[in-house]
Amino acid sequence: SRGGVRGTISVNCAERDNCDICDRSLFVTGATGSFGTAFIEMALRNHTPRRLIIYSRCEVRQAEMATRLDRPDVLRFRLGDVRDRDRLAMAIERSCDGIIHAAALKRIDAVAHDPEEAIKTNVLGTINVIRVAIDMGIPKVMFLSSDKSVNAQNFYGSTKFMAEQYAVAANVYASSRNVRVSCTRWGNVIGSRGSVVQIFQNAREHGLPLPITDPACTRFWLTLEEAVVILVKALRLMSGGEIFVPRLPSMRLIDLAEAVAPGHPRCFVGLRPGGEKIHEVLINLEEIRRTVAVNDSLWAINPAIHPWRIDVPWSGQPAQEGLSYTSDANDWWLSVQDMQKMLDLPSTTK
């Protein structure tokens, strides 16, 4: 089985006493997507969850996951859509300790063509998940956001921004039920379905030039495994209302193309319709004033308004005011060889 998950029962978690996965029951939306699958596999491999409830729309992927992972003692599969609040309420067990909300429509061009569908899933779906969590008293909800939400320039980014802001503000109501809602926000995930890495790999395999939007484009990068680790850390640290942002490296798309297919022909196709950015932002100029460094690898953007807390529990070294965290002005860059190592590709180093 992929990742050596099948049959794994005895796991020694180094942080078991403070772990939000070991001995916990978690509900994961979008659990058969790229991130959801990586999270489920990591949870089984490195932790001892009491129960993981897989919630998604695709019965085929659920069946494949059930066969591949072979953990009927832990895994529960529930078909459903986050758009359906009644179904969510039926699928979520009251004994759940937390919800990981990863379900979303993510393709910029598709969302631009069908904006109402994105609103139904990304915005209203998020409202449904959080409302059900509040009604049922689920202690922790973690919403997965995106760098596209910052200074949003496309419809997808706008829906993630609205969902993110609702997740933060929902603590006003959630706190009376001892429920807390927080967010994680990160950049491009290497290995996710439909990512630019897959697009480049497909073009290479079919002998087509690699389509690059703009030679100046830069992006933040992390692996699926790193994304899961960040979420686990955020679950442990959250007090409600924070947006957790990891420190990530940047890379130019033309360097990514060289890493995936050295010397392969390329073509410049222009920015995708719908409002694609040349550079991404993880923390903007306004948010930096409310940002603290939790540790060397993670920032927390504190909520601007937090009436659910008399005191402010979020501590850490304040970020330098006047800066913004953008992919072009980053102080950490990936080389071609770094990316090849991350993708497990032969190095072009001579």
DSSP symbols for 237-298: H--SS-EEEE---EEEHHHHHHHHSTT--EEE--SPTTT--SS-EEE-TTGGGGEEEEETTE
Catalytic site positions: 148
Token match 């603590």: residue? 171
Give the CA count within 13 Å in the CB-facing half-sphere of 179.
Answer: 27
24 phi/psi in degrees, rounded to 5 = -115, 160
How big is the chain, counted in residues? 350
Distance CA 187, CA 157 (A): 12
CA-to-CA separations, 220 to 22, 58, 68, 147, 195, in angstroms, rounded: 30, 29, 31, 9, 13
How many Å from the N-terminal Cα to the C-terminal Cα in the chain? Answer: 35
Determine how many CB atoms are found less than 10 A away from the CB of residue 147. 25
Longest dimension (CA), the chain: 61
- Helices 34-46 and 59-69: crossing angle in degrees, nearest 10, is 20
Q: Which residue has the tokens 């005895």?
A: 10
Cα–Cα distance for residue pair 338/342, rounded to 1 Å:
6
CA nearest neighbour of 282 among 252, 322, 331, 327: 327
Neighbouring residues of 161: CB distance < 8 A, sequence distance ≥ 6: 149, 150, 152
Closest residue by Cα to residue 221 from 186, 188, 184:
188
Q: Please give the Cα distance from 118 to 274 (Å, whole number).
A: 13
Q: Hey, what are 293's tokens?
A: 């460094």
